[in-house]
């Protein structure tokens, strides 16, 4: 017989739980939407500027590692050349030693008294016997040379091997720095992409107008440069205002911070090194109160460099997305020290 029982209705408690769960899901969805609103244009700019500063620091670290790599590659190449030349010298000495030994063996194959008896010219034989004695002394000298060259060669090979180990470490560091630099730039670009094309263009034009206005109204005072070379470097850099920052840029169409300072001093006839971490050692260090126009000025743990222009102002290539411009030292972060180029 078929059952005619009525289906069991859900309890009031179960309905309440389901309803509460649905309400919670709606609330969480609403909160998530509210927690991740589209950033405003000013917020995007602030975040992009921060990332660009960090990218500028990463850029100097990357090119610092690259410069170290290039230096090590030259050192390794020079050592390997020395090793190759040393081995060739040893091979030449060994070949000569083998010829001497063969000559002695051939000469020693007949008793000297028999050789004297058979000699058609005894005086000639005696001259040859004397030459054999000289060959023995020369052979000893050759052996000593080989031993000494082998010691030097072993030392050079070890030095080259150590340098190759250092080079491998630097290449690994280089890859990490490059990845960090690219990551910062990519993050900044993703933020910029949240803006419309018109908003991005407006932001770019606003930055350019601000840079031009800063250059037009800059008051450098009347401070006297410490040297004619410093004055010439500053003058050269001033002609590059408005040129864009580019990672690895060394001029004349674009610059990074240390690329600008290196280029400027090259125009003054002075060769300085490539990145901030080596430019810090290109001259004596000086404090803020001793700065003169043309001095190098370092900021933010020496990750950034510019040229002191006078009246608490720096001429520099700030970071990606900006141009070469004058800027107050008060807005540039932590001042480290200045370096005076002779």
Helix orientation angle between 41-107 and 122-192, rounded to the nearest 10 degrees:
170
Taking CA 63 as the corner, what is the angle to CA 57 and CA 64, rounded to the nearest 5 degrees?
85
Residue from 316, 323, 327, 340 carrying the catalytic annotation: 316
Which strands, in side-by-side order, build the sheet including 313-316? 285-286, 335-339, 296-299, 304-310, 313-316, 325-328
Residue with tokens 């803006």: 195
Query: Which residues are CB-contacts of 261 (< 8 A; sequence separation ≥ 6)?
Result: 233, 237, 272, 279, 296, 305, 306, 307
Among 304, 309, 317, 319, the one annotated catalytic: 304
Measured CA to CA, the distance from residue 313 to residue 304 in angstroms comes to: 15
> 3-state SS of the chain: helix, strand, coil percent to 5?
65, 10, 25
Task: Tell me whether residue 304 is one of the annotated catalytic residues.
Answer: yes
Distance CA 59, CA 3 (A): 81
Nearest residue to 263 via CA among 240, 231, 287, 289 = 240
Distance from the first to the final alpha carbon of the chain: 112
Is 316 an annotated catalytic residue?
yes
Phi, psi of 224 (to 5 degrees): -95, 130
d(CA 294, CA 307): 6
User: Which of these is catalytic: 44, 160, 234, 257?
Assistant: 257
Residue 11 to residues 5, 14, 16, 17, 300: CA-CA distances in angstroms?
17, 5, 9, 10, 67
Residue 158 tokens, joined: 């070890």
Active-site amino acid positions: 257, 304, 316
């Amino acid at each position: 017989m078929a059952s005619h029982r009525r289906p069991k209705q859900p309890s009031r408690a179960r309905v309440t739980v389901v309803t509460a769960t649905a309400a919670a899901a709606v609330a969480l969805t609403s909160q998530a939407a509210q927690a991740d609103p589209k950033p405003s244009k000013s917020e995007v700019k602030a975040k992009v500027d921060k990332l660009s500063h960090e990218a500028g620091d990463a850029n100097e670290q990357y090119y610092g590692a690259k410069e170290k790599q290039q230096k090590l590659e030259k050192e390794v190449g020079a050592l390997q050349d020395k090793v190759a030349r040393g081995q060739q010298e040893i091979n030449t000495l060994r070949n000569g030693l083998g010829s001497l030994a063969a000559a002695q063996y051939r000469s020693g194959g007949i008793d000297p008294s028999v050789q004297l008896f058979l000699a058609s010219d005894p005086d000639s034989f005696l001259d040859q016997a004397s030459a054999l004695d000289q060959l023995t002394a020369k052979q000893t000298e050759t052996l000593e040379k080989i031993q000494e060259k082998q010691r030097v060669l072993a030392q050079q090979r070890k030095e080259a091997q150590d340098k190759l180990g250092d080079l491998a470490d630097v290449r690994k560091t280089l890859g990490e720095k490059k990845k960090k630099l690219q990551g910062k730039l990519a993050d900044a670009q993703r933020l910029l992409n949240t803006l419309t094309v018109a908003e991005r263009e407006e932001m770019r034009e606003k930055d350019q107008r601000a840079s031009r206005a800063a250059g037009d109204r800059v008051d450098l005072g009347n401070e006297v440069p410490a040297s004619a070379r410093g004055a010439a470097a500053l003058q050269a850099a001033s002609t590059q205002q408005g040129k864009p920052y580019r990672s690895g840029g060394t001029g004349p169409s674009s610059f990074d911070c240390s690329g600008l300072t290196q280029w400027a001093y090259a125009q003054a006839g002075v060769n300085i090194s490539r990145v901030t971490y080596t430019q810090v050692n290109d001259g004596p260090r000086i404090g803020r109160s001793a700065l003169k126009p043309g001095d190098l000025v370092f900021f933010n743990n020496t990750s950034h460099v510019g040229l002191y222009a006078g009246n608490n102002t720096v001429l520099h290539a700030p970071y990606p997305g900006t141009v070469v411009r004058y800027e107050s030292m008060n807005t540039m972060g932590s001042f480290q020290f200045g370096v005076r180029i002779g």
